[in-house]
Structure 1
Amino acid sequence: MSAANYPEALVKAFREGRAWRFAAFAFAGFALIFAGGLVYVSTHSPTTLVPYGFAMAKGPVTVKAGSAANGAYLSYVAQADLGLILDWTPDTVKAQYDRFMNRLSPSLYAAEQAKLVAAAKLNKQNDVTEAFYANHIQYSGDTVQVSGLLKQWAGQTVILSRPVTYTLTYAFTDGTPYVTNLSTPR
C-alpha cells in the first residue's frame, strides 16, 4: 500500500468499524494497566499516621517517602509514646500501659510485659497519679531523647518530682515505628 492510498485505507477502516473497535480495546488495555499500577502503588506504599494532637499543636509533619528515619516525626511519636506510659491516673493506668505495650517491638514486649502489668496493678492499688512534662527533645537517627520533669502524686500529696531523661530507639516495620529500646532513669 502506497502513502497516497493510506488516507483511503483509513477511511475504509473507519467505515467498517475496525478502527473504532481497535481504539476501544487499546483504551481499555491502557486503562487496565494504569488501574493495576495504581492498585500496586497503593498497596505497597507505607503509610505513617501522625497523632492528631501533635498535628493540631505543631502543624503538619512532612514524612519523606523512603526516609524511615525522620527525626522530627520520631520526636513527636516519642512524646506520644512517653505520654502513654508516663501520664496516667489510677483509673487509666492499666489502659495506658496496655496501649504502650502495643507500641513495643515483639522482643521488647516479651521482656517488659510482665513488669508493666505488675506496675500498673501496683499503681492502681496505691492510688498513684503520674505526669511527665517534656521540656527538651533531641534526636539522632532512630533514637530520641526526651528530658523533662516527672511528678507523682498519692492522692493530693506530691511523692516524687525530679528531672529525668528517657531515650527511645525505634525500628520501622511496614512503615510504622515501634519502640525497640526504652532506657529509663535509675
Structure 2
Amino acid sequence: MSEPQFPYATSPIEPADAKAGFSCGNRALDDYLARHAVSNDADGIGRAYVLRRSLVDPPHLPLVLGFYTLSMALAESTQVAGVLDAKLPGYPMPVALIGRLAVDQRAQGRRVGERLLLDALRRIVDASAILGCIGVVVDAKTEDAARFYSKYDFVSMSKVSWPRRMFLPIGTARGAFSED
C-alpha cells in the first residue's frame, strides 16, 4: 500500500482494512468497519476513508488507526438558518455528513481523531467547489463526542436528545484551509 498523496492523510477503504482487527471500544462502530464499510462504500451509500499506520508510526499501533465515512445529506432549513443567523429558503438544505468517525483504542491520545476530522473537512471543502453544500453535519452520540466537535466550531442544531446533530458552516471549514 502506498502512502496517500497530499492533501489527504487517509485513503479509500480496502477489503483488508475490514479484517485488520480495528477496535475503538464502541461495538457498533467496530462492527460497521468490519461488516458494512466496504460494501456501503462500493454501493455509494457512504464513502469510507481509513488512516493506516505509516512507516514512521510505532509498530505496536494497529494497521488501521481510524476511519470516517462521508455522504451527502439534508438539514432542515430552519435549524441551519438559526445557526447561520441567515434567511434561507424553506426547503431542506444540502450538507455533507460525517456519518462515522472512530479511532482505534490503541491509537487514542495521539490526535488521530483531529487528523481524521481535518481530512474529512478537506475532502468536503474540495467537493463543495463542485456541488451545493452549505455546511457539514455530524451526529454526536455522547457528551464526549459533542465536546470534541465543539472544539472545531461545530454547534448543536438541537439540544434535545442524543445523538445530537451538530453543524459547521462550509465557510468556516473553507477558512481553515485558506492559507494552504
Query: Could you state the TM-score of these two structures normalised by the residue count of structure 1?
Result: 0.26
Q: Which has the larger radius of gyration?
A: 1
TM-score by length of 2: 0.27
User: Which of the pair is proportionally richer in helix?
Assistant: 1
